[in-house]
Structures are given as C-alpha cells and as structure tokens.
Amino acid sequence: MPKISKLSIEKQERDEYPGKIVFANFIIDGIPLNNSKDIDNDYVSCLGWGPKEFQQEQIDKLLLKEKSDFKNNRNSLYICPCSDLGCGAVSLKIKRSSKDDNIIIWYKFGFEDNLEYRSKFKNYYGLGPFYFEWEQYKDTIGGSLLFGEPNYWHADKW
C-alpha cells in the first residue's frame, strides 16, 4: 500500500503583474507544492480566486466531475495569473485507484500549454505520485471555494 498523503490548502499571495492575487495553495504533508524546484512561482494555483463560476469549474475538474483542461486528460494545478492555458500550466493526471475507490492519485506531473501550433510538454519526473484519501481530498478541494480573493479578476471570459 502506498503512503497516503494529507492535502490541505493555505492562502498565498502573489503581488505582481497583472495584480495582487490571493489564492488557495496546495499543501501536501505540510509542504507547499509550489516549493518544488520544478514549479515556477510566477504561476498561481487554480483554486480560490476569480469569479465563483470559475472557481467551481476548477473544483469540479479536480474532483473529476468535469472534463479536464487538456486533450490528453490532464488537469492544471498552477496557471498563469492571466488564466490563459496558452501561457502554460503545471498539470497532472488524476484518477481514482483501481484497487481502492477511496483513494485518489495525483501522478505524471508536468508543464504544458494548449497551443495547437506548438504545444509543448515537459515531464516533472521527480514530483509525485501522491495518494489521498477521497473524503479528505474532496473536503479540502471543495473547501477552496471563495477561499482566497474571489473579487479579483482580469479576464473577459467570466
């Protein structure tokens, strides 16, 4: 049986272009995920900021209720503060364990974009996999709604 990690979130602030964003950062076993040498600190987590509809969409993707961000069934975790996946995103695959439905797995971390003409992908081989207990995971991800600074938004989409 693999080690079961504990996922939590905490507020983190990024005060650079295009403005201050307070977001829900991912904490795994007490360590901020964006402390990894692979993750660019210019990016913010996909949770806890922006309009409520945007936040709910991100939550639903991480809970496997909605289609993933990328064609290859990968979801974004850290995105450009402009929210354009064309700028790139730290992404991963998410699945429920085939041996135990109460376990959810984050694996195959990487960096990619969604540009049709020159899409790029870089594996983050040293990051993950992480195994989480489903109920704790679901409560943590769901608890990120309106966690950071929900009134900040800069994009036209929402």
Beta strands in 17-129, from DSSP E residues, in sequence order: 19-28, 31-32, 44-45, 75-79, 89-96, 103-112, 121-123
pLDDT tens digit at each of 158 positions of the chain: 789 999 999 999 988 877 788 999 999 999 999 998 878 778 999 999 888 899 999 999 999 999 999 888 999 999 998 888 999 999 999 999 988 889 999 999 999 998 876 667 888 999 999 999 999 999 999 999 988 765 655 555 44
What pLDDT shows up at residue 63? 97
What pLDDT shows up at residue 140? 97
d(CA 43, CA 85): 11
d(CA 123, CA 127): 9
Neighbour order of strands in the sheet with 19-28: 7-16, 19-28, 31-32
